[in-house]
Amino acid sequence: MQTTSIFYFSGTGNTWWVSREMARLLSEREICTRTHSIEQLTTGAATQLMAECDTVGFGYPIYGSDLPGPMEEFIARMEAVEGKRCFVFCTQWLWSGDGARAGAALLTSKGFDVRWGEHFLMPNNVCVAVMPLPFTNERKRIDAVLAKASHRIERFVEKIGTDRSFRRGFHPLSNLLGSLQRVPFQRLKGRMQDDIGVDGQRCTRCGYCVSLCPVDNLVEARQSIMTRSQCIFCMRCYNFCPESAITYRRRPHNLRRGVPYRGPVEGFDPRILR
């Protein structure tokens, strides 16, 4: 029996959900597949897991046509492999241009044979007041997005299962268009690391945000929650704070729009991503 390991980073659950669906469908095709959140995974453990399987998968949410910092660092830390078959996918709300190719470039430099790449449209997780993009927690609307994503996952898994290479977003034009978003976003990133804060009036100092942060940006101080200028904008603390007390550029969440996006499934618990 063939085996696959999918390594993913997910800020608010979308990439976790896609990875899980992919693993379920691959396993139905007799390709035994396990998923691993890269948070808390040591390089040694990851190397061992990769050595044990035939195919490796990598998944991440797209941030301005780029990879999230933890996934970039995870790939950079990995030992080089020789021609290991792999697939790469990103989840996105609207568009990335070459989101899968951006990860594939890093993986290829590590010796991976990137045979498949795909983009999956998922609900938007950016709900901050300064950028009033549309988002929803309405079950029906989320389910409609997930149903479409499911079809694309099925088609992607079929290509992997039948060993037909397929790489979305690898065309030079996609690369060019992706760069138009990625390059300015990369410049902006350095200036955004301090944008997350805590609203002293809403915050109950429960420490939930501290326990959720994938990069230890939030720390409990004596009277308040402090930040350490290393935010990667995954939106986990902002979206799952029970009091919606996390601020972005000093503005707390606008509760007139409802609570922020709370993940792809009813009662989603972000602690499983850690």
Ligand X SMILES: Cc1cc2nc3c(=O)[nH]c(=O)nc-3n(C[C@H](O)[C@H](O)[C@H](O)COP(=O)(O)O)c2cc1C
The residue from 6, 7, 11, 260 that contacts ligand X (CB under 6 A) is: 11
- Cβ contact 169:117 at 8 Å: yes
Site for ligand X in 223-242 (CB under 6 A): 233-235
Nearest to ligand X of 4, 19 (CB atom): 19
Instruction: Give me the helices (H) in 29-164, please.
Output: 43-52, 69-77, 99-109, 139-161
Beta-strand ranges (E) seen in the chain are 2-8, 31-37, 55-61, 85-92, 113-121, 166-167, 196-198, 218-220, 225-227, 246-248, 251-252
Query: Residue 92: helix, strand or coil by DSSP?
Result: strand
Rounded distance, CA 51 to CA 108, Å?
A: 17
> Which one of 5-13, 46-54, 136-144, 207-215 is the stretch in contact with ligand X (CB under 6 A)?
5-13
Percent helix, strand, coil in the chain (nearest 5)?
40, 20, 40
The residue from 4, 15, 35, 247 that contacts ligand X (CB under 6 A) is: 15
* 91 is an interface residue for ligand X by CB under 6 A: yes
**Interface characters, 178-217, with ligand X (x: CB under 6 A):** ---x------------------------------------
Report which DSSP code applies to 267. T
Q: What are the angstrom distances between the C-alpha of 110 and each of 83, 138, 158, 166? A: 9, 41, 26, 20
The residue from 58, 74, 93, 240 that contacts ligand X (CB under 6 A) is: 93
> Which one of 24-32, 39-47, 91-99, 248-256 is the stretch in contact with ligand X (CB under 6 A)?
91-99
Rounded distance, CA 111 to CA 102, Å?
A: 15
**Interface characters, 114-133, with ligand X (x: CB under 6 A):** --------x-xxx-------
Q: What are the angstrom distances between the C-alpha of 36 and each of 41, 59, 138, 181, 243? A: 8, 10, 28, 29, 30
* 100 is an interface residue for ligand X by CB under 6 A: no
* 65 is an interface residue for ligand X by CB under 6 A: yes
> Which one of 31-39, 62-70, 139-147, 156-164 is the stretch in contact with ligand X (CB under 6 A)?
62-70
The residue from 96, 174, 217, 227 that contacts ligand X (CB under 6 A) is: 96
Q: Min. distance of Cβ 31 from ligand X in angstroms?
A: 23
Q: Min. distance of Cβ 95 from ligand X in angstroms?
A: 5
**Interface characters, 141-170, with ligand X (x: CB under 6 A):** ------------------------------
Q: Min. distance of Cβ 40 from ligand X in angstroms?
A: 16
Contacts for 19 with CB less than 8 Å, ≥ 6 apart:
6, 8, 10, 35, 57, 59
The residue from 1, 80, 94, 131 that contacts ligand X (CB under 6 A) is: 94
Rounded distance, CA 50 to CA 81, Å?
A: 9
Residues that bind ligand X (CB under 6 A): 10-15, 61-65, 91-96, 122, 124-126, 181, 233-235
